[in-house]
A and B are shown apart, each in its own frame.
Chain A
Amino acid sequence: MILPEFDVLVPNTVAEACGMLSKYADKGVRILAGGTDLLVDLRRPIVPSEISSCDGCATHKTGNVRSTIDCGWWESDSSPESDRALLKKVQDSIHQYPGYLISIHRIKELRGITTNEKGSLRVGAMTTVTEIERSDIIREKWTALAEGADSLGSPLVRNRGTIGGNIANARPAADTFIPSVALDGVLVIQSEKASRKVSVDKFATAPGKTVMEEGEIITAIEYPAPPEFSGSAYYKLANRKALEICNVGVAVWIALEKPGGPVADIRVALGAVGPTPILAESVKKVLIGKKPDEEIIKKAAKAARDDARPIDDHRGSAWYRSMMVELVTDRMIRLAVKRAEGEA
């Protein structure tokens, strides 16, 4: 399977990239970052499986795959209704194959991990997952994100894959997306005319669908400085240790008023148990203001289970996932509390 035909544009700045995005919007344009998702998606068979074979036309022998260009079948065929539906399908699938890819690997301002004087973190959208995995400051202060990076794909995927791409693809099991929700990340999104910020937990609207509009590009993800006595953790429950998509992924960020003391704030993000990563709001109601003891953590984990909306699929049943959300949330809250108290 070779890739379908497209042209590749290589901008040097974000402004240039935004200009290209609007200029070629009508020809189909996609941003190429690490390519570990996009170049795989583009390899899918160009002819959708529903397309029937040609009954014989001016350019085709009977039995050839129908083509919108050669066969002209949508004008002559006896059942216009179904053909129109078919034509739409073909056109939709063509639309998915972009005429242009904008490869953003040259843009320096999209790379790098920096902290500012207030202690908050900025990760450039083109920062690779390996760079995040190896960053000492992220492991120390935004631990859940480092643990997400650890568990994503394989070393080779991590060497190419970027955090911006992982989040932009908006998959509910994305290993840097889930911790970013728990860590209250904010996406910086740039277009030709303006820049805006979107909270990571409001970014995805459905699998693969986001609030991003045509002509926009993610430039960075920002994370607030962790307060004193706070900690985070992420666990990916999966069948294999590498090259895997999680059954259930749970990221927890917790802040205590003092060691052993009441919970000041908590954010629990649940992955692969809904159409997007879910911020478990009801956990807040259970835990905030309470001492995180055995009983209350159990209650919080149950609340997380109620917030999850898992489905049955080949990775696991909804029933199993529900149980695992509760179990993993329980463990991750304990671990995050320990880390907040400086023990782990």
Chain B
Amino acid sequence: MKKLVTLTVNGITHELAVEPRRTLLEVIREDLGLTGSKKGCGIGDCGACTMLVDGVATFSCLMLAIQADGCNVETVESLAENGKLNKLQRSFVDLGAIQCGYCTPGMLMTATELLRRNPHPSEKEIRRSLSGNLCRCTGYQKIVDAIKAVAGE
């Protein structure tokens, strides 16, 4: 039986009827059509599905939509400002921190949480906070550089 869930996603409040077994990732991709967040492993290893739920970086593949009822969810689509990439996204592009791009939404959201909590992280702190986001292209150095470039300002 479907249940009613209220989700605020990127500032817009939605009331949705969802099957209890569906994950936040499935609902946001399939019902809301926000396909920026990716499904990688589906078991909390890769971090491609990372969203901010009430400001906390969360893998949305291991959170049921029902558990996010009443929460404020931010996905990668929320980052661009007035149709323009934000500083962090720009930095990823400029420094080549994207290869195939599959991990990028998750990396950006994890980095966004880190920079909010700690605007000037050390390289060690950046690496530690990214340790749950995997990049199969192994482009980690450039991702760290891109975040450092923003953090240094």
Contacts and interface: CB of A to CB of B under 8 A. Distances in A.
The reply to whether chain A is a binding partner of chain B is yes
Interface of A: 1-8, 10, 32, 35-36, 39-40, 43, 101, 103, 105, 130, 153-157, 159-160, 241-243
B43 A43 contact: yes
Contacts of B47: 154, 156
B132 to A, nearest CB: 3
B131 A154 contact: yes
B1 A7 contact: yes
A interface majority secondary structure: loop
Interface in B24-48: 26, 42-45, 47
Interface string B100-141: 000000000010000000000000000011011100000000
A43 B91 CA distance: 37
List 5 tightest A-B contacts by C-beta distance, closest first.
A154-B132, A242-B131, A156-B132, A8-B20, A3-B21
Nearest to B43: A40
Contact of B66 (A10, A36, A130): A10
Contact of A156 (B21, B44, B67): B44
B42 A1 contact: yes
B44 A3 contact: no
A1 B66 CA distance: 19
A157 B44 contact: yes
Contact of A155 (B1, B19, B43, B110): B110
A157 B129 CA distance: 11
Given A103-B67, A243-B45, A6 B62 contact: no
B92 interface: no
A8 B64 contact: yes
Interface string B11-24: 00000000111110
B64 A156 contact: no
A103 B56 contact: no
A40 B59 CA distance: 12
B75 interface: no
A91 B136 CA distance: 39
12 contacts: A5-B21, A8-B21, A39-B23, A40-B44, A154-B47, A154-B131, A154-B133, A155-B128, A156-B57, A156-B110, A156-B133, A243-B45
Contacts of A242: 128, 131-132
Contact of A157 (B19, B128, B132): B132
A8 B66 contact: yes
A35 B64 contact: yes
A159 B53 CA distance: 10
A6 B58 contact: no
B57 A155 contact: yes
A160 B63 contact: yes
Contacts of B89: none
